[in-house]
Structure 1
Amino acid sequence: MKRVLHISKYYYPFVGGVEQIARDCVLALNGKVEQKVLCFDHNPKSKDSIDSVDGVEVVRVGQQALVSSQALGITYGKQMKKVLRSFKPDVIIFHYPNPYVAHYLLKYINSESKLVVWWHLDIIKQKFLKHLFTGQNKRILKRADKIVATSPNYIVGSPWLSSVKKKCVVIPNCIDENRLSVTEEEKELAKQIKAENKGKILCLAVGRHVPYKGFEYLIEASKYLDDRFVIQITGKGPLTEKLHEQAKNDSKIKFLGLVSDKELKARLLSCDIYTFSSVTKNEAFGLALAEGMYFGHPAVTFTIPGSGVNYVSVNGETGIEVPNRDAKAFANALTKLADNFALRKQYGIAARIRVEDNFMFKQFKNNVEELVVEL
């Protein structure tokens, strides 16, 4: 049986976008190959340990520090070398960005192992690190046998991926349909939310309150909307206080805070339009966008060059895309959908179909299996 080593920054039970995709890769290959996971322990000041998740051995390296979102551990190189020599992987799936780990991977990988670099996003926020790791990025992409991007848009928009197009394959992220399955209790809660907002156009935005999510532009857009609208914003984050201050005189804005899965599904069921206001390539794909579309709602998005957001939702088919950071255009799109029930329905049905045809686990599983078999 072939052996596949997965290398991720952290791993389940840590909850994060990259970590979920890493686990999805493992689940996609379960029973097909022998697998192992190498990652950092997400707990600070932890020690090296080994456990099992989904029947797969997970080697967790103790983390001594976290610098610019990069985990550091003094025993990482030793553990990497040990795992590569003892497990002898036929294929390594390395989840990028992870420059500290990339250093040891380039140092210890042998010529027999095939390397898949799962390119989640470019380093763009950390300006200094972006330039510091230029040479390393060139080496890891040269060594890679295949490079996975989550959308064709990202291949075109990334200066790194566009330079190695022939090695790139597209494997879109997938939603967890089991987590999104709806109970009768959640349906009743959705009806209650609808009843409490009778006659209103319910818009929903989901995400952490961080700059790239663009919630400030959604709040600005609300100023151009009439009182039919209710803009529901979930989550918390560094910008929460600032966003509350910006919206303090706008009764249309409702901050829901951190919500349970139960309430989230009820909100997803009951909303009329899914608002996705992200504005930078930090939003590499938009999994929360796909989840909103899965519930049969049209989406309003900004144009983000090089991001997968405008691949997930197709302008004029599953929703409306407007110029980046143009709050008035965003409001006009919301108004257009509010005024036209038939259009909302048309886009909503198309949104559900697009997710079912492209962004479910079954497609993801097939894509990962084909990638590994090809290698």
Structure 2
Amino acid sequence: MKILHSYKVYRPDIDGGIPFVIAALSRLVDNDVTNGILVARRVGKARRYVIDDVPVEALSSLGTIFSTPIAPAFPLVLLRRSSAVDIVVHHAPFPLADMVSSFLPDDVALIVYWHADIVGHSWLKTLMTPVIKRTLRRANRIVVSDRTIVDNSPLLSPFADKCVVVPYGVDVDFWNTPSAMERNTALRLRDQYPRMVLTIGRLVPYKGLDVLLRAMQELDAQLIIIGEGPLEMDLKRTASDTGLTARVTFAGRLARSDMKTYLHAARVLAFPSVTSAEAFGIVQLEAMAAGLPIVNTALTTAVPHIARHEKESLTVPHHDSHALAAAIRRILDEPTLAGRLGEAGHLRARTEYSNDRFLSRMKVVYDEVTQSCQRNRSNTVG
């Protein structure tokens, strides 16, 4: 079984949720499964490389527009590459792949991994809707991380019978078990910042970091922001203008080991996202695996269903800095509550969101679509 994953960009050009999922899926390798990845560069010349023992072809790009790489060669290369594989996994949203996904060879299975709708570019969504619907009609299966994605998407609703829910997973043992060096560093950080609030994610509008900075004005705490993105200078300016510079650290993009260290040093993970562009929130799973309590927001997505109010998290209305500050303060001031939420989060991550469970569910989807294609070929020949 040869599988080709198609998406906009990939590591090392960018980290984040969807590249993380692709990386996890690429670890599903046995006698029956091999993986390849086709992406574009954020900007720059094409290159081929191997990461985590998986070959990656990153096509040249002139830059990005509306979060999409300007990579003219992508549709034709996807068509050419698809003829040599059994399954194409189209990680959506990615309009360049939608342009040709419906034209893949009949004997190639198409899985649309629908991570989120196009959010924030209404004219682009309107323009691409007919093309996306054509892709969804061609798809053998549509994978979503949570049922709310189907329920809230006008595009997916007509294809609900094709949709299958496969929640993301994380390496629970990795995030839960710091090395001796990581543990010592975490202890030093906790001594330095005994009331550390941590947030992790790209510095983009839907993450709600402006709301978190307003909340910090009401808190006696230190905020560590891990991530990079186009809003970095604006957020630093806001921190300066509100007198928070000494209590807010912009740590930038960090390696997984360093992120784990901060997860074990922090007292709470703040996850203040404000729009449905935050469809799931994998960083919640990483924090839960590490036993860290969470404050998240009541979005109409999977976010508050993963870390649930008063079980693994405290959930507050989005855009509400006062409620966000009150929930964070409650966890900082009530160690018993923090411990209860953290322990419940770790148990939920281990039982519901482990990588092994995630990959075994996806393997079932792979087997189903390949068997379906084989039956179709047999019927055609007959």
Give the alignment's TM-score, normalised by structure 2: 0.86
Q: Compared with structure 1, are the counterparts of its residues 333 and 44 closer, same or farther at alpha carbon in structure 2 (3 Å cutoff)?
A: closer
Q: Compared with structure 1, are the counterparts of its residues 360 and 115 closer, same or farther at alpha carbon in structure 2 (3 Å cutoff)?
A: same
Measure, in 1, the Cα distance between the counterparts of 2:325 and 2:159.
Answer: 39
Measure, in 1, the Cα distance between the counterparts of 2:196 and 2:82.
Answer: 52
Q: Cα offset for 1:177?
A: 4.9
Paired residue secondary structure (1:185): helix
Aligned to 1:106: 102
Letter paired with 1:207: G
Deviations 1:283-304 (A, max 9, x none): 2211122212221111111111
Aligned to 2:378: none
Aligned to 2:6: 7
Matches within 5 A, 1:126-165: 126-165=121-160
Q: Cα offset for 1:65?
A: 4.9
Deviations 1:242-275 (A, max 9, x none): 3333333247732232264354333211211111
Percent identity, please: 26
The 8 Å contact of residues 222 and 252 in structure 1, kept in 2 or not, is answered as no
Q: Compared with structure 1, are the counterparts of its residues 258 and 178 closer, same or farther at alpha carbon in structure 2 (3 Å cutoff)?
A: farther
The 8 Å contact of residues 64 and 74 in structure 1, kept in 2 or not, is answered as no
Aligned to 1:365: 359
Q: Compared with structure 1, are the counterparts of its residues 329 and 105 closer, same or farther at alpha carbon in structure 2 (3 Å cutoff)?
A: same
Aligned residues: 364
Q: Compared with structure 1, are the counterparts of its residues 9 and 31 closer, same or farther at alpha carbon in structure 2 (3 Å cutoff)?
A: farther
RMSD between superposed Cα atoms in Å:
2.5
The 8 Å contact of residues 13 and 42 in structure 2, kept in 1 or not, is answered as no
Measure, in 2, the Cα distance between the counterparts of 1:130 and 1:90.
Answer: 29
Q: Compared with structure 1, are the counterparts of its residues 336 and 77 closer, same or farther at alpha carbon in structure 2 (3 Å cutoff)?
A: closer
Aligned to 1:285: 280
Deviates more, 1:50-59 or 1:188-197: 50-59
The 8 Å contact of residues 337 and 343 in structure 1, kept in 2 or not, is answered as yes
Matches within 5 A, 1:167-246: 167-177=162-172, 180=175, 181-197=177-193, 200-225=194-219, 227=220, 229-246=221-238
Aligned to 1:70: 68
Aligned to 1:265: 260
Measure, in 1, the Cα distance between the counterparts of 2:51 and 2:253.
Answer: 27
Measure, in 1, the Cα distance between the counterparts of 2:132 and 2:76.
Answer: 22
Measure, in 2, the Cα distance between the counterparts of 1:75 and 1:339.
Answer: 55
Q: Which runs of 5+ in 2 are unaligned?
A: 370-382
Aligned to 1:352: 346
Aligned to 2:26: 26
Q: Cα offset for 1:217?
A: 1.0
The partner residue of 1:118 within 110, 113, 119 is 113
Q: Cα offset for 1:50?
A: 5.2
Q: Compared with structure 1, are the counterparts of its residues 207 and 44 closer, same or farther at alpha carbon in structure 2 (3 Å cutoff)?
A: closer
Q: Cα offset for 1:54?
A: 4.9
Measure, in 2, the Cα distance between the counterparts of 1:266 and 1:59.
Answer: 32
Q: Which runs of 5+ in 1 are unaligned?
A: none
Q: Cα offset for 1:53?
A: 4.7
Q: Cα offset for 1:68?
A: 2.3
Deviations 1:24-59 (A, max 9, x none): 22222443234443333x264524x65555555544
Letter paired with 2:319: R
Deviates more, 1:164-173 or 1:253-262: 253-262
Q: Compared with structure 1, are the counterparts of its residues 253 and 362 closer, same or farther at alpha carbon in structure 2 (3 Å cutoff)?
A: same
Q: Compared with structure 1, are the counterparts of its residues 300 and 252 closer, same or farther at alpha carbon in structure 2 (3 Å cutoff)?
A: farther
Letter paired with 2:150: I
Deviates more, 1:365-374 or 1:339-348: 339-348
The 8 Å contact of residues 148 and 170 in structure 1, kept in 2 or not, is answered as yes
Measure, in 1, the Cα distance between the counterparts of 2:195 and 2:238.
Answer: 21
Measure, in 2, the Cα distance between the counterparts of 1:76 and 1:241.
Answer: 32
Measure, in 1, the Cα distance between the counterparts of 2:334 and 2:319.
Answer: 24
**Residue 166 (str. 1) matches residue 158 (str. 2):** no
Q: Compared with structure 1, are the counterparts of its residues 329 and 59 closer, same or farther at alpha carbon in structure 2 (3 Å cutoff)?
A: closer
Measure, in 2, the Cα distance between the counterparts of 1:133 and 1:345.
Answer: 47
Measure, in 2, the Cα distance between the counterparts of 1:50 and 1:246.
Answer: 40
The 8 Å contact of residues 75 and 96 in structure 2, kept in 1 or not, is answered as no
Letter paired with 2:45: S
The 8 Å contact of residues 203 and 230 in structure 1, kept in 2 or not, is answered as yes
Paired residue secondary structure (1:117): strand
Matches within 5 A, 1:40-55: 40=40, 42=41, 44-47=43-46, 52-55=50-53
Deviations 1:73-101 (A, max 9, x none): 4443443333233x1x3322111111122
Measure, in 2, the Cα distance between the counterparts of 1:3 and 1:130.
Answer: 31
Aligned to 1:333: 327
Q: Compared with structure 1, are the counterparts of its residues 3 and 233 closer, same or farther at alpha carbon in structure 2 (3 Å cutoff)?
A: closer
Deviations 1:207-247 (A, max 9, x none): 2322111111112122333x3x3333333433333333333
Give the alignment's TM-score, normalised by structure 1: 0.87
Measure, in 2, the Cα distance between the counterparts of 1:166 and 1:242.
Answer: 44
Measure, in 1, the Cα distance between the counterparts of 2:331 and 2:48.
Answer: 52
Letter paired with 1:322: V
Deviations 1:312-349 (A, max 9, x none): 21112101101111111112212322332222111110
Q: Compared with structure 1, are the counterparts of its residues 209 and 30 closer, same or farther at alpha carbon in structure 2 (3 Å cutoff)?
A: same
Measure, in 1, the Cα distance between the counterparts of 2:54 and 2:224.
Answer: 40
